[in-house]
Structure 1
Amino acid sequence: MRDADQALSAGRGSRLAQILQQTEEIAAGGVDFDPAAFPDDPATLSVLGIGDFANELLERQPGIGGARTRLNDDYLAKLSFEGDALKGTISVSGARGDKAARLRQLLEKPELDLRDDGVADPPPGRGLGSNNLLFMASELLLLSQERDGFPALLIEEPEAHLHPQRQHLLVDFLKQKAAVDQGAEHGLQVVMTTHSPSLASSLKLENLVLVRGGRAFPMGPEHTLLDPADYAFLERFLDATRANLFFARGVIIVEGDAENILLPTLARLIGRDLARHGVSVVNAGGTGLGRYGRIFQRRAEAEKALLNIPVACMTDMDVMPDCAPAMLGLKAADGSVPAKNNRKWRKKDDFDADGLVTLRASIEARATGQSVRTFVADEWTLEYDLAHFGLAREVWIAADLAAADARIHAGRATIAEVVRSSLRSFRDIAGLDPERRSTSVYAKFRGGASKAIAAQYLAALLDRASARGRLSADELRAALPPYVVDTIDYATRNAGEGLA
């Protein structure tokens, strides 16, 4: 499909001529032309018969005849040797030679283009994507004539110049053709290469083959650590946005929109730009983090069988500090803490000395192995940990901006006004111990501030501080939670750095 328009145009050796010559209807349909008896209905003629009929009509046409006579008498006759007269004829290609050669020459005259239904003239120009579809349809027409063997269609990057909706339509059609019962019509095997997340998300995961470092890694159940439930889950949720992980040099899998929005900015500001390192951030949406990770884990653990793609899964610890239940209003009316089996949340003193270590290890084990590693929040959640380790003021301001977002966009407040008010209110918690201060910051999100919108504002605040020289890469790296830095560093490792 390098030049579909050229392949479908008239001309010597055109692909269209090759396709048409192999179709049953053209090879066997119609009758030959008999010069001694003009047909009552030219539609009964074969393609070659139509060419011979056209030649006969050209021979009898006065203008053609006059031009031929002048060509022969006034020019060729004067250029001929005695006894070796040169004579010219005017005909449609295909008037000489055996039937196969004549038919080939004749079929090199037509061209194939797209027209709008009900419109006589073709449009002034179709897009390259539409022409590629036309070319593929022509090749499928040829393959449908196969009666021996198992026809195969090989397509290099069918998404070229094709908008996403047509990509999905194309894949659905090809899947249907490939699934045709062998008894009714020869089944079709389709092999295509692609860089399109839209196409990748439209196919069953087990039918994909990931090519990395010149090696092929099939995604079928006999090759990955995914179980049947994982395949069913991923078929539902592995959409075009998430399918970009198949084309990445590194992957970060997160649980929410806030991480998805914030991580690219954090990485860039500490000198680990995700785009430059070819890293994709995949939002698992709160569940299935391990399922996405297992896509990259192989059953055969031999070194050459492993995918050398760093995959970092980033998750919350989900254990709050002991001061949080009272500060967040989670205690009962009498001030007591509900029994563990009557609440979904956990706090640190619910665990013995080794309990937190065991819990962390169990969370990491859900998606760790080979090139996949899980990085668990050092304390509780992303927002809490950002405040706890050095960005309490910035997250506090971002949360206030998120809460005021509607008023800001309605023109009832300005960002500067909200920031000034937020800085004044932050003084009330600045002197608290780290756990109470960070819990106070986190309480804003339980009070209605959107984590995703706050992440957007926080990214802008940090970008602005960096641009003005008030925040260096080293200063930000030191202020970030260690697990965030480790996640970014691991996913942006170069191939030569290894994955240990």
Structure 2
Amino acid sequence: MYISKVSLVNYRNFANAKFLFNKGINTIIGENGSGKTNLFRAIRLLLDDNLLPSSYKLDLGDFNRSLGDYRGHWIIISLEFSELSDDEAIQSLFVHGAGQIEGNKVSKATYNLFFRPKADVRFMLSELEEGDVVGLNEIRNDITLEDYETFFTGKSTADFNDPEVYKNLVGDFDNVRFTYTYNESSFGVKIPHQLSVSKEVSFTFIKALRDVVSDFHNNRTNPLITLLKSKSNNINKDDYRQISETVISLNSRIEDLPDVQQIRADIKNTIKDAVGQTYSPSSLSINSSLPSEADKLLQSLKLLIGEPGETYEGGIHELSLGGANLIFLTLKLLEYKYQIARETFANFLLIEEPEAHIHTHIQKTLFDKLDFGDTQIIYSTHSTQISEVSNVENINILGKKENYAEVYQPSIGLQSSETEKIQRYLDAVRSNLLFAKGVILVEGDAEEILIPTLVKSVMGVSLDELGISLINIRSTGFKNVAQLFHNDRIRRRCAIVTDSDHAIMDTTIQDGDNSRLKRIKRRIERSAKKGAERRVDLDTFCNGNEWVKAFYAEYTFEVDFVEAGNYQEVKEIVDIIYTSENKKQAARKELDSDKVDVFGRRVLTMANKEGKGWFALLLGKYIYSETILPDYLVDAILFAKGTFSRSLLSDILTYRAKKNFELDNNLDFSEFHAVVTSYISEEVDLATLLSSYEAVDPSDQILCILRKLQSCSNGTRKT
């Protein structure tokens, strides 16, 4: 038995979210604040018996903020279980509780938590005439959290993620249509929480490892004490009797020490001298309180540990953060092993961000080793090392939006052969694309090295600040990865950046061509043909998918870079690449040419001579704010980013103003800076901001870049 689906409606940052899980190890990926902890909290509300009873009384902060006014709405948390065993006990539990009977046995089961208005409120809502908005508002105005109850059901068949199902169950607030009764066969029958599924399963939650030392100092959260308590109940009294008698004897010997008795007498005499016989205590003793009971004595034990490669053993507080976290995690896993030994119907282990302060090799090894066979494990993480070794079919990705989060399953709708290719491809570097807000796929080292440098130098912000991951495919096989980005899978923008490889010269073989020139022409012609075929193939692949788009260099990255006007940057490395003065002069002259067959052949010759990766590293030292971003790269970046906040656009323009003023201190940007303030406070629009900048520096390339943004997005959103 395993959790196959979790549905969350109006719960915390999930307005309407569906998580799909498989048997074995599952991974939740998401940036900070995307809702990983909230998901685990929701599961715990249904399966964790260690939660305090007060946890089930939800509060205002548990309602999703996108609701606006929570009053009258419901929070729905629904778990679906699959592959229930044929065991008579578990079949009995679910037949009478949460199961859906198919034939003679239960194969699926649901367990739901509704946080809903109490019966009297629901009845008043059901009495409203359809469309009575005034009456609805009057009732809602009087609703408080005290009018809410927590209600558990099982045996539901409804899809709670369907908005129409929500309207049928909770009500249609827009059209004011509410009912008091509901279909139990669809929405589930009531289950008393004291008879809940949580009492029949083994469930362990390991929270994010942030303050381990504090947890070890707290008897309630110390995992060592939890383990010792569990064992103390199994101690054989006969085996322990001798130890207990020895402890009692030791207490007596400590109390009888002459120094202890002397201090006792001194205390007694001092009190008598101070307040007299009448007000002095009638008796006074100093007792040794070493526990003689088995459970208490075990709990007094302390854990001493030595770091790897060291002989010294110290307390938890003396360990490194990584060492302390690893020990904490180990003890919680042992606690879990003790739990599953008691033959429960199902075993669940939730681990929140295990990567905290733990070395990357340990992260990967931990994930690889943690497999208890009959246990469903769910990790949450933002570690690329863990996501690298995660099965892409068992991943749920959280996408953070304004006031809510979306959930993506990257393998939905893909064939097993396609997911296998993706699985092999997603190493620790490339798995970054699972975390990014936008992705740019490139085909080679030159793009991987130079595009981040270009963006930072020209726009003043890094690709990381833009939320964009740039991934080097190291080939033109983009489709294997780009298919992840789809309305059914990961709903994030993916820009494919590749070369068209148009011929930079006439490839017709002439009578006077020597053998070397003929080879060059044939090679260029073959590349142009492949480039044209690739373009048709990619355009067909992207057609109809709003999340993926291809952007093409007309020739190659290096040629288009020079064609954009960046010949001076390439000339800066001529002296590094060539030693002959004649070749240096020839290279500079050809790079100054306005003919693509001249400067194009030269820059490609230089790149091939050094290797494109090394060429890009050399060139990267001479990228400045004046360097021109090729047009197709601008389009790719704007597509991958999607929307730009007012503050981000202001930062970009302010950076450009600063850089241009450094080049020419006659430029007066004072009025522009005043407009920036008005733009951030939404007093003026983007067109006004750009016009203000253009009045000072009309030739700056940033104007062309942002006017492209203005034309394609028609505005910005507020952060």
Q: Give me the TM-score of the superposition, normalised by structure 1.
A: 0.71
Match of 1:208 among 363, 370, 395: 395
Distance 1:294 1:64 in 2: 79
Do 1:429 and 1:440's aligned partners in 2 also have CA atoms closer than 8 Å? yes
Count residues with an aligned counterpart. Answer: 426
Distance 1:490 1:168 in 2: 34
CA-atom RMSD, angstroms?
A: 4.1
Distance 2:368 2:471 in 1: 25
Match of 1:7 among 194, 215, 227: 215
Change (3 A) 1:459 1:61: closer
Do 2:255 and 2:288's aligned partners in 1 also have CA atoms closer than 8 Å? no
Q: Which amino acid aligns with 1:370?
A: E
Moved more, 65-74 or 228-237: 65-74
Does residue 438 (structure 1) correspond to residue 600 (structure 2)? The answer is: yes
Match of 1:219 among 409, 412, 418: 409
Q: Which amino acid aligns with 2:226?
A: I
Distance 2:308 2:559 in 1: 61
- Determine what percentage of the aligned residue pairs are the same residue: 24
Do 2:353 and 2:379's aligned partners in 1 also have CA atoms closer than 8 Å? yes
Match of 2:443 among 255, 263, 285: 255
Change (3 A) 1:402 1:152: farther
Matched ranges for 1:459-470 at <5 A: 459-463=620-624, 466=625
**TM-superposition CA deviations, 1:150-186 (whole Å, max 9, x none):** 3433333222111211212221222x33xx2x3xxxx
Does residue 29 (structure 1) correspond to residue 178 (structure 2)? The answer is: no
Q: Which amino acid aligns with 2:233?
A: A
| Paired position in structure 2 for 1:113 | 304
Distance 2:576 2:299 in 1: 66
Matched ranges for 1:277-356 at <5 A: 277-299=466-488, 307=491, 309-323=492-506, 346=526
Do 1:386 and 1:395's aligned partners in 2 also have CA atoms closer than 8 Å? no
| Paired position in structure 1 for 2:323 | 130
Distance 2:525 2:414 in 1: 29
| Paired position in structure 2 for 1:35 | none
Do 1:402 and 1:450's aligned partners in 2 also have CA atoms closer than 8 Å? no
Q: Which amino acid aligns with 2:610?
A: A
Distance 2:521 2:586 in 1: 35
| Paired position in structure 2 for 1:375 | 551
- Partner SS state of residue 45, structure 1: helix
- Partner SS state of residue 311, structure 1: strand
**TM-superposition CA deviations, 1:232-287 (whole Å, max 9, x none):** 22322311111222222222111111100000121123316223212221111114
**TM-superposition CA deviations, 1:404-431 (whole Å, max 9, x none):** 5xxxxxxxx7xxx98x963553215644
Please state how far the C-alpha of 1:443 moved relative to its aligned partner.
3.2
Change (3 A) 1:237 1:428: closer
- Partner SS state of residue 111, structure 1: coil
Distance 2:237 2:336 in 1: 25
Q: Which amino acid aligns with 2:465?
A: R
- Partner SS state of residue 462, structure 1: coil
Do 2:503 and 2:524's aligned partners in 1 also have CA atoms closer than 8 Å? no
Distance 2:387 2:235 in 1: 41
- Partner SS state of residue 469, structure 2: strand
- Partner SS state of residue 297, structure 1: coil
Please state how far the C-alpha of 1:20 moved relative to its aligned partner.
2.1
Q: Which amino acid aligns with 1:159?
A: E
Match of 1:486 among 614, 622, 635: 635
Do 1:249 and 1:278's aligned partners in 2 also have CA atoms closer than 8 Å? yes
Change (3 A) 1:298 1:27: farther
| Paired position in structure 1 for 2:660 | none
- Where does structure 1 lack aligned partners over 5 or more consecutive residues? 33-43, 301-305, 405-412
Please state how far the C-alpha of 1:27 moved relative to its aligned partner.
2.6
Q: Which amino acid aligns with 1:5?
A: V
Distance 2:540 2:306 in 1: 58
| Paired position in structure 2 for 1:409 | none
Moved more, 379-388 or 329-338: 329-338
Distance 2:513 2:215 in 1: 71
Please state how far the C-alpha of 1:143 moved relative to its aligned partner.
0.7
Do 1:51 and 1:92's aligned partners in 2 also have CA atoms closer than 8 Å? no
Q: Give me the TM-score of the superposition, normalised by structure 2.
A: 0.51
| Paired position in structure 1 for 2:427 | 239
Change (3 A) 1:208 1:484: same
Please state how far the C-alpha of 1:31 moved relative to its aligned partner.
2.9
Change (3 A) 1:54 1:429: closer
Distance 1:118 1:198 in 2: 25
Do 2:228 and 2:299's aligned partners in 1 also have CA atoms closer than 8 Å? no
- Partner SS state of residue 280, structure 1: strand
Match of 1:55 among 248, 254, 257: 248
Change (3 A) 1:91 1:439: same
Match of 1:427 among 577, 589, 592: 589
Do 1:159 and 1:194's aligned partners in 2 also have CA atoms closer than 8 Å? yes
Q: Which amino acid aligns with 1:207?
A: N
Distance 1:435 1:347 in 2: 15
Please state how far the C-alpha of 1:438 moved relative to its aligned partner.
1.5
Larger fraction in strand: 2
Change (3 A) 1:216 1:322: same
Please state how far the C-alpha of 1:58 moved relative to its aligned partner.
1.8
Distance 1:212 1:161 in 2: 25
Superposed structure 1 runs of 4+ greater than 6 Å apart: 76-82, 117-120, 329-334, 336-339, 495-500
